[in-house]
Amino acid sequence: MKIYTKTGDKGETMLLFGGRVSKTDPRCEAYGTTDEAVSAMGLARALCKDARVKEVLLQVQKEMFTLGAELATDPSQYEQVRTNFGVVTAEMVGRLERLIDEVDAAISLPASFIVPGASAGSGALDVARTVLRRAERRIVALRDDGLVPNPEVLRYVNRLSDLLFMLARLEDRALPYELVTGRKA
């Protein structure tokens, strides 16, 4: 099987379980942006030093493929994606909330703004977070157009961006205040 199919050469792509759309379709923008976030998380995972941060990142990267499959499926085919790939669940959202609480208990957030880039790992996590926030805005637009039948998708992305923020702080927890905030203590 060749990696190239030539089927997208005219500016269209296929959704999962059928249907062709323009590559400028809002669904492509949403799942493409989530794909960017997954790649940014991969870079962060490669750059981070903390084993727990790396473990959590790998887990959520894998879950993001489920989310991407939902976004790449027309709502008329939603049962197909549920049956064949699974969908984002309230349990997945709850697990993210527990992870956020776990990290929160392990760190002390500064009382001022945090300047991204205190370390390569946290900087990459903050990039992943901001890409995910852009994906969230695209997903809201899809939801508003009736193209995201599962409300857990938006909840998951919202919690995941919070988790990425916290993981960046966990990665930098041993760094001096001045490095993290850009200000003297």
Task: Note down pLDDT in tens along the chain; length 185 residues.
Answer: 777 778 777 777 777 787 887 777 888 899 999 999 999 999 999 999 999 999 999 999 999 999 999 999 998 999 999 999 899 999 999 999 999 999 999 998 877 788 888 999 999 999 999 999 999 999 999 999 999 999 999 999 999 999 999 999 999 998 766 767 777 76
- pTM for the full model? 0.91
Give the domains, in start order, of the chain with CATH numbers.
21-107+118-172 (1.20.1200.10)
**3-state SS string for 130-155:** HHHHHHHHHHHHHHHCCCCCCHHHHH
